[in-house]
């Protein structure tokens, strides 16, 4: 089974398009990016209706901002963990605390900007629990797993091909951090480490973060050994 992956930045967050037998999207980026996504689909010769699922790794506004627009465009189903369902359905914008020194400063700056952010809500079709969820019925060989730490409802997608889509369980690059590693915001560092362990032990080879470029899973394994 061939796995085709396209990174589509929507604002400062990535949306990933994954095509195997079926087509799904992971995360919906900043608000107002529906048209940009439509253009990218066109360039890839993918009909909007071919997108079966939008999986939200978590419910922060910078990852579900265009969920409403994308749902309208593609008529796909939307999946998110039950703890964060309300955020995307009601356009809520909770912010996790900074867990790195830069995260604390950056978080304070963002707090001034976030009140001006608005996004159109999306109804949730698949409410994920804190346990594995197979994507086989969407034509994707992989499962969604609970990986808390950045937020308590954060989920990651582990493909059988060794590609792991981890949302903000790890981040890579500016303006969030330098190089791959811990997110600058989060609820619980020890949960984050446990989530890394789960991802690494699942046999993931490549990490696809919601912020920044993909990197080798070995980076996380090394950071875990050093901790």
- Could you give the CA distance from residue 206 to residue 217 in angstroms, rounded to a whole number? 5
Q: Closer CB to Zn ion, residue 124 or residue 168?
A: 168
Q: Which is nearer to Zn ion, 142 or 183 (CB)?
A: 183
Q: How far is the CB of 21 from Zn ion (least distance, A)?
A: 30
Q: Which residues bind Zn ion (CB under 5 A)?
A: 60, 62, 168
Q: Which is nearer to Zn ion, 33 or 60 (CB)?
A: 60
Query: Which residue is nearest to Zn ion, using beta carbons?
Result: 60
Are 16 and 208 in contact, with CB atoms under 8 Å apart? yes
At closest approach, how far in Å is the CB of 212 from Zn ion? 10
Cβ within 8 Å of residue 29, ≥6 positions away: 8, 9, 10, 11, 13, 14, 15, 37, 62, 63, 65, 66
Comparison of 168 and 170: residue with beta carbon closer to Zn ion = 168
Pairing of β 77-81 and β 126-128: parallel
Least separation in angstroms between CB 211 and Zn ion: 6
Distance, CA of 195 to CA of 12 (rounded, Å): 23
């Amino acid at each position: 089974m061939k796995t085709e992956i396209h990174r589509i930045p929507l604002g400062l967050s990535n949306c990933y398009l994954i095509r195997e037998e079926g087509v799904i999207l992971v995360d919906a980026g900043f608000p107002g990016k529906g048209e940009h996504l439509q253009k990218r689909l066109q360039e890839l010769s993918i009909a909007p209706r071919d997108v079966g699922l939008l999986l939200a790794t978590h419910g922060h506004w910078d990852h579900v901002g265009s969920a409403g627009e994308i749902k309208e465009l593609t008529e796909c189903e939307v999946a998110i963990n039950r703890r964060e369902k309300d955020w995307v359905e009601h356009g809520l914008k909770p912010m996790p605390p900074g867990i790195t020194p830069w995260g604390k400063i950056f978080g304070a700056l963002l707090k001034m900007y976030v009140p001006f952010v608005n996004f159109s809500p999306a109804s949730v079709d698949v409410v994920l629990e804190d346990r594995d969820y197979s994507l086989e019925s969407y034509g994707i060989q992989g499962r969604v797993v609970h990986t808390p730490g950045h937020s308590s409802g954060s989920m990651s997608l582990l493909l059988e091909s060794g590609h792991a889509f981890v949302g903000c369980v790890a981040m890579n690059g500016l303006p969030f951090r330098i190089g791959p590693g811990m997110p600058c915001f989060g609820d619980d560092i020890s949960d984050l480490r446990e989530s890394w362990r789960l991802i690494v032990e699942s046999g993931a080879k490549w990490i696809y973060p919601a912020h920044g470029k993909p990197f080798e899973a070995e980076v996380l394994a090394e950071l875990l050994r050093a901790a």
